[in-house]
Amino acid sequence: WELYRRGFDSHHIFAVDEFYWEDRPRYNAALEAVRREGGDLTSWLEYSAEGLLQTLERVWERMGQLSVSAAREKVILRPRQEQWLKLLGKSGGMTPSELWAALKVSKQGAMDLLRPLVKAGLVKRVGTLKTGRYDLK
């Protein structure tokens, strides 16, 4: 929360909280160690730094799975858009009907996911409106 409050992660790309929630006993042990050590924060800072490192590595891995080139303009991906970019990268291209079937969304929902990606230059349309496909750029 503090990183977000200070403007470090204003787009909610990562959450260190996930690291803490995954192993609550270890989290509690790290807090207890500070009490046991008379308020010395060294072990807590080491634990927190490990959490930040692991969280950022996960973000890096997620970004690598998308395998897209740089966008023309800034786009904040919603989870479904991220999911679709992964599918698109694996399949090598999808028709609009394949998109809405894969994500279990309506035609309008699919277009709402797709428009910002096309506008940002992450995805390109190949073919006509009826026979077109979408590919990664």
Give the structural domain span for 84.
79-136
Question: Span 35-56, mean pLDDT?
Answer: 91
Q: Which CATH number belongs to the domain containing residue 84 in this structure? A: 1.10.10.10
Domain membership of residue 112 (yes or no) is yes
pLDDT at 33: 93
**DSSP assigned state of 123:** E
Share of the chain above pLDDT 90, in %: 18
pLDDT at 36: 94
The token pair that represents 40 in the structure block:
């010395």
pLDDT at 14: 66
Domain membership of residue 72 (yes or no) is no
Confidence of residue 64 (pLDDT cuts 50, 70, 90): low
Structural domain tally of the chain? Answer: 2
Confidence of residue 42 (pLDDT cuts 50, 70, 90): very high
Q: Are 120 and 72 in contact (CB under 8 A)?
A: yes
Q: What is the pLDDT of residues 4-13, one digit of tens each?
A: 566 665 455 6
- pTM confidence score: 0.53
Task: Determine the 3-state secondary structure of 126 from DSSP.
Answer: strand
Q: Are 44 and 84 found together in one domain?
A: no
Q: Are 47 and 86 found together in one domain?
A: no
CA distance 88 to 13: 21
